[in-house]
Amino acid sequence: MIEFRFPAIFYLYILLLILWLFWIYQGRKQTVLAETEPNLRARLLSKMDTNRLKWKQRFLFLSMIVLIFAASGPQIGVRLAPVDRKGVDLVFAIDVSTSMNAEDVKPNRLEKSKFEISQMIRQLKGDRVALIVFAGSSHMYLPLTTDYEAARLFLDQIDTNMIPTQGTALSSALQTGLSAFTEDDSKYKVLVLVTDGEDHEGQAVDLAEQAAERGMIVHTVGVGTRSGSLIPVKDKQGIRDYKRDTSGKLITSILNETILQDIADAGKGTYVRFDNKPANFRAIMKAIDSMEKRTLKSHIYSEYADRYQSFAVLSLGLMLAGILMPTRNKKDEEWRGRFVQ
């Protein structure tokens, strides 16, 4: 494999080709020492090795070809190098129940959550990140990865239609989040629970305590406002109605901060609220940044290695050969040394 830093340099080959064709054209029109008296011309040329003269010109021409190639910055092969990443394992558990469509936070709770999480991912350096989605059940959506571009791409595709089983199973989300951590050392692991806080199972606090005992940190994020909002029911044309209970009354989804604060306390983490204010994620990022970081894995990455030096040296060698090569006819010198005193 080969790459070039400055491929535009290759356009100089066109100029070199034009000069070469011009040189051939001029060579055919003109004869060496054409205006010199024939006998004198023959005598002078007898001292010159025309074959060596041609090779001299070829070396200089080849030198220019190789010099242009070197100037283009060729990068050939691969170079392997170890990279030590220091960070933590960070898992986001994101509520995708229909209550996350509530618009008390603009544009709605889920879109606000996705935007803030995306900003958090942009600030990561060496940490591994995973995504979990949950409603009435929970699923691992993106396993731990350091590919932040892929993580943001997966995050952007999350919506409230991903899980048909409705509800807000915080304990299931916590259980799935804890299972995402496969290594034994738990003190470098962080779980961020993003939800409106309607726990339909009631075991989340106990699971957060168990995680804290194992050295994990559980942060919680409440999305919404204390006054709450109606839950829109959408189709392709937009909002067609609002969610109602079995008796036909409109349902108002209210942020349950109490349960989220209890989970954060049990998990030795921080509770923050995503509302209509910008940059709500900073408190959690500050807590993550203050954690002890470990070397998660030593990656071996490959890259192209610069090889222009070799071609520059080759060009210089060809140029010196063309400049220093003698064109005097040695056979003529040997004959004169043998018969002329």
pLDDT digits over 21-49, tens only? Answer: 887 776 655 555 555 666 666 666 666 66
In angstroms, what CA-CA distances link 213 with 40, 206, 208, 267?
104, 11, 9, 8
The pLDDT of residue 110 is 93
Residue 291: pLDDT band (50, 70, 90) is confident
Q: What backbone phi and psi angles, to 5 degrees, belong to 168? A: -135, 85
Contacts of residue 90, Cβ cutoff 8 Å, sequence gap at least 6: 124, 127, 128, 129, 130, 190, 192, 288
pLDDT digits over 229-256, tens only? Answer: 888 887 777 777 788 877 888 888 888 8
Mean pLDDT of the 176-189 span:
71
d(CA 247, CA 249): 6
In angstroms, what CA-CA distances link 186 with 1, 137, 252, 283?
42, 25, 39, 22
Mean pLDDT of the 121-127 span:
87
Which residue is listed with tokens 């409603």? 135
d(CA 180, CA 189): 10
Which residue is listed with tokens 């409109």? 250
Least confident of 166-170, 213-217, 332-336: 332-336
Question: What counts of helices (H) and strands (E) characterise the chain?
Answer: 11, 13
Least confident of 52-56, 155-159, 325-329: 325-329
Least confident of 95-104, 105-114, 317-326: 317-326
pLDDT reading at 318 higher than 70: yes
Sign, CA torsion 65/67/72/77: positive
Mean pLDDT of the 307-335 span:
77
The pLDDT of residue 294 is 65
Mean pLDDT of the 92-121 span:
91
**More confident call, 101 vs 278:** 101
Q: Hey, is 236 helix, strand or coil?
A: coil
Q: Of 86, 87, 92, which is closest to residue 218 (Cα–Cα)?
A: 92
Q: Hey, is 295 helix, strand or coil?
A: strand
DSSP percent split of the chain into helix, strand, coil, nearest 5: 45, 25, 30
The pLDDT of residue 36 is 63
**More confident call, 339 vs 111:** 111
The pLDDT of residue 58 is 84
The pLDDT of residue 133 is 94
Residue 341: pLDDT band (50, 70, 90) is very low
Read off the pTM. Answer: 0.62
Q: What is the residue-wise DSSP string for 69-111?
A: HHHT-EEEEEEEEEEEEEE-EEEEEEE-SGGGG--SSSS-HHH
pLDDT reading at 340 higher than 90: no
pLDDT reading at 301 higher than 60: no
The pLDDT of residue 153 is 95
**More confident call, 52 vs 295:** 52
The pLDDT of residue 297 is 58
Which residue is listed with tokens 């604060």? 261
pLDDT reading at 166 higher than 90: no
Instruction: Give all domains of the chain, ordered by start, each with its CATH number.
Output: 2-73+308-339 (no CATH), 83-298 (3.40.50.410)
Residue 186: pLDDT band (50, 70, 90) is low
d(CA 224, CA 195): 9
Among 16-20, 94-98, 325-329, name the most confident range: 94-98
